[in-house]
Structure 1
């Protein structure tokens, strides 16, 4: 059979009609095969282009959501979940798009002309252990045929990749030699070092890990039990709970000192949040409350103290704040009225709560009055951002010069608008909230340490909001109080830039032999790790 691919024009001369017919059929068959192949390639290209177009559209939509979400009414947990999901989806789509574009080659009609700007990657922390892998050529002789001389190392490129080894348990073996005098029949041996649990199994590091897993990472004990079991270590949840109980009891003197430190501030933030507490007698849970008290967000020595209470009445903050005087930043909860009655106590309001009243109206019916109120409040927050890193005196001077006229203008405007809105309307309620709390809202104009809102303490409440979704409820009033003890210390440690586990491990190691008269040395704002 003739090969039509190898035929030339001169080869066709002299061929018989039968041969020419055979060649023509082969050529037509080859053309049909090529046409089918081209059609299949065109279909593949069309499908790939459509897929690239769809993925590009999905990426654009994700980015639109990403920036639009900043104005959405989401709580902290919802926003965090949204951002995590968005990041995962965006990375997946980008990987698919890169793979498709690599298959398609350069396609100007699909690939954007401008290179995509990537955020600068943050350098990996210096304290991490580095495991070096050397990569050198097997042969360092010049590969040029006319040379063959030894090559000289003139530099190197270094790239770093982050890796992890899952948590590993290890055992401390304390070997205490026995020394005897045969003449005197005397035995000498080093005493056992005091521990939080003298006859127990856990070292300070494991106790700290259990507490941090529970109160920082919000892992219920049954999940810690499962995680430990993967390393072949059997730690029943009842045992883990017992360790936490012992650890919380040991930390109580430190919490008492932390409470005194927090109450030593002239400006305090206060807030409360509900937490379910198990009520065995009724066979269900009941509502309890965690009260939080924190030193000003401007304070050079930050700190927070939590108080677990079975109710929300004013008697609980009154008991905690007994003997304290200063400025209390809080919301307009009626329970604070009794708290502020003693002489020497001043109320400061929360501009974020006032703003929220107007923001809710915009989301519902696009109120023009609410929109203008938010614009005026935004001017005040802009000045606060500029004053954030100033000294107390400089901040107060800036407020007096720039913020005070805006506050006065806002006050006049609110009173005027109040006369124009219907009585009993939602916008009237939002305006009344600000006007009724005006003295407290403007307390920041008289004290440079007072913040314009209570967001500082609300941020410190987030761990409780996250925790109650993980462990659902406190097992008892005592368990809630123990949680408040640990949370006060670990959150204060975080405020002061410490790793909670390193802080607790060191403190639990030192507490059994630490003098009570020097307990303040172990407070988060004064703590220095042992050398």
Structure 2
């Protein structure tokens, strides 16, 4: 009997073991299913995130393509359509008022340019006049044969171009010998801008003005001179530019001291390709601009721009450039400027003022690509701030501050509250969300101008100064050679772009060369 129970117990234990093994296998299968499900969920999540990221990238690329198309084929204006329409309507009204007050006939069938025109502006009085006097062909009256008496004259002026011409100045230094001894005397050699160089100061001024003011590459200038019958190679012209950069060092140093001796400076930078001698591959350097311009506060001090070159965009370069400066620095949100606004800076922290034009541009790009109503509303609110700036441009510092405190601050407070509210509903990774986040992160620096009558709402002064550099980059590759790492003395030449923009630059360079050539190049 006990044997029978033992067999039964053993059988039950076997069945229990088999069931336990079956359950264990099912648990393993269930665990595998759960792991597979978790993996698939994770893969699905990653796929959805990737799709979302790809969609944002596609949107960004489409916006970039649209922006590039506008730059190539369309207008670069950032004004809203309603602003353009308002301006066109205002222009039409002004034309109608002008026609009505001046008595001009307003025939809609006749194009305006064919109607009676206004009196044209007289030609500048400082230009030399060449008089061509024309006498009547008749020596007597064609009607009765009577004698003709002087009655007056009918005059008209025409503007003509006198083509530049090259000439050779031959200097002959007379030598004389004493009739009593062997002493020989001769006239001293006149100084030249470039020692033993064939270029006169006027020709050097023409090359520099053509390159830096008219953005003519050296190879084009070489072709122009060739058409005039003189072969001047691009390499020779480049050497002249290098030598002139050395000559202009005192001007560059004086310009630097003038720009830094003020309470407010605008700064910006742009990349340039730099080709080192013997190298086939160009590297990217930077051109930095520093602008002194207080005309908007009614200052009589002339504006000036100082340029500097650096081989990279490290923050140590603006730190070095701005070492003597104390005051307001208007710039973009480049992190390389951060140490300038730190209390640890030698000489004290600079006051940071950001650029509303830079912030607006980010929102405008979103509006152009998406026609977002939120972006349009933001642009409208920002345009109200600029309308105030247009009204107070040229007023004294104290009056500008009073208007900003009374009107701009209210608009800024309202704009901040609205942006914070809207930003909470936007995806942080969306282009509009990124634009709003940029504005809010820079808010204190963007609003500083409302508490200081000297500061500006934007950094457009620096951006305008860099246009000359950008035109030079667009038209030529010569800039790479001038800003070569092995030509450190060439960096002052960058200041020729706009540093003396209020003068006739060719005359300025010519006067400087004539005045200092005896000292700098004996």
Partners of 1:113 and 1:247 lie apart in 2 by: 51
Q: Establish whether residue 474 from structure 1 lines up as the match of residue 475 from structure 2.
A: no
- TM-fit CA distance, 1:75: 5.2
- 1:522 corresponds in structure 2 to none
Residue 410 to residue 110, structure 1, CA distance change in 2 (3 Å):
closer
- TM-fit CA distance, 1:125: 2.3
- TM-fit CA distance, 1:439: 1.2
- 2:450 corresponds in structure 1 to 445
The one of 498, 502, 508 aligned to 1:491:
498
Q: Establish whether residue 353 from structure 1 lines up as the match of residue 381 from structure 2.
A: no
- 1:41 corresponds in structure 2 to none
- 2:261 corresponds in structure 1 to 264
- TM-fit CA distance, 1:329: 0.4
The one of 143, 155, 169 aligned to 2:166:
169
- TM-fit CA distance, 1:364: 1.2
Q: Residues 255 and 485 of structure 1 are in contact (CA less than 8 Å); yes or no, is this contact kept in structure 2?
A: yes
Partners of 1:379 and 1:223 lie apart in 2 by: 46
Aligned 1:108-507 pairs, distance under 5 A:
112=110, 116=115, 121-139=120-138, 141-145=140-144, 148-183=145-180, 186-279=183-276, 283-298=280-295, 300-341=301-342, 342=345, 343-472=348-477, 473-475=479-481, 477-478=484-485, 484-494=491-501, 497-507=502-512
- TM-fit CA distance, 1:140: 5.6
Runs of 4+ in 1 over 6 A off after TM superposition: none
Partners of 1:291 and 1:214 lie apart in 2 by: 19
SS in 1 for 2:282: strand
Partners of 1:76 and 1:401 lie apart in 2 by: 42
Partners of 2:240 and 2:279 lie apart in 1 by: 28
Tell me, which stretches of 5 or more residues in structure 1 are unaligned?
1-70, 81-108, 516-531
SS in 1 for 2:499: helix
SS in 2 for 1:274: strand
Partners of 2:74 and 2:455 lie apart in 1 by: 29
If the length of structure 1 is used for normalisation, what is the TM-score? 0.71
- 2:516 corresponds in structure 1 to 511
Residue 455 to residue 390, structure 1, CA distance change in 2 (3 Å):
same
If the length of structure 2 is used for normalisation, what is the TM-score? 0.72
Larger Rg belongs to = 2
Partners of 1:459 and 1:208 lie apart in 2 by: 24
Q: Residues 194 and 513 of structure 1 are in contact (CA less than 8 Å); yes or no, is this contact kept in structure 2?
A: yes
Residue 360 to residue 310, structure 1, CA distance change in 2 (3 Å):
same
Partners of 1:162 and 1:252 lie apart in 2 by: 37
Residue 359 to residue 73, structure 1, CA distance change in 2 (3 Å):
farther
Could you report, residue by residue, the CA deviation over 1:199-223 in whole angstroms, capped at 9, with x for unpaired residues? Answer: 2211111111112222222222222
Residue 280 to residue 197, structure 1, CA distance change in 2 (3 Å):
closer
SS in 2 for 1:301: coil
Q: Residues 141 and 149 of structure 1 are in contact (CA less than 8 Å); yes or no, is this contact kept in structure 2?
A: yes
- TM-fit CA distance, 1:479: 7.2
Could you report, residue by residue, the CA deviation over 1:443-471 in whole angstroms, capped at 9, with x for unpaired residues? Answer: 21232222111111111101111111222
Partners of 1:278 and 1:267 lie apart in 2 by: 34
Q: Residues 263 and 321 of structure 1 are in contact (CA less than 8 Å); yes or no, is this contact kept in structure 2?
A: yes
Partners of 2:401 and 2:181 lie apart in 1 by: 76
SS in 1 for 2:335: coil
Q: Residues 218 and 466 of structure 1 are in contact (CA less than 8 Å); yes or no, is this contact kept in structure 2?
A: yes
- TM-fit CA distance, 1:505: 1.0
Partners of 1:390 and 1:179 lie apart in 2 by: 68
Q: Residues 275 and 287 of structure 1 are in contact (CA less than 8 Å); yes or no, is this contact kept in structure 2?
A: yes
Partners of 2:72 and 2:387 lie apart in 1 by: 22
Q: Residues 245 and 491 of structure 2 are in contact (CA less than 8 Å); yes or no, is this contact kept in structure 1?
A: no
Residue 76 to residue 184, structure 1, CA distance change in 2 (3 Å):
farther
Partners of 1:117 and 1:376 lie apart in 2 by: 42
- TM-fit CA distance, 1:272: 0.7
Residue 305 to residue 79, structure 1, CA distance change in 2 (3 Å):
farther
Partners of 1:175 and 1:113 lie apart in 2 by: 64
Aligned 1:49-128 pairs, distance under 5 A:
112=110, 116=115, 121-128=120-127
SS in 2 for 1:291: strand
Partners of 1:382 and 1:73 lie apart in 2 by: 29
- TM-fit CA distance, 1:297: 4.6
- 1:100 corresponds in structure 2 to none
Partners of 1:229 and 1:188 lie apart in 2 by: 40
Higher relative contact order (CA 8 A, sep 6+): 2
**Paired positions, count:** 414
Partners of 1:127 and 1:113 lie apart in 2 by: 35
Cα RMSD between the aligned structures?
A: 3.0
Could you report, residue by residue, the CA deviation over 1:104-137 in whole angstroms, capped at 9, with x for unpaired residues? Answer: xxxxx99538764657644322222322222232
Q: Residues 178 and 187 of structure 1 are in contact (CA less than 8 Å); yes or no, is this contact kept in structure 2?
A: yes
Tell me, which stretches of 5 or more residues in structure 2 are unaligned?
1-66, 77-106
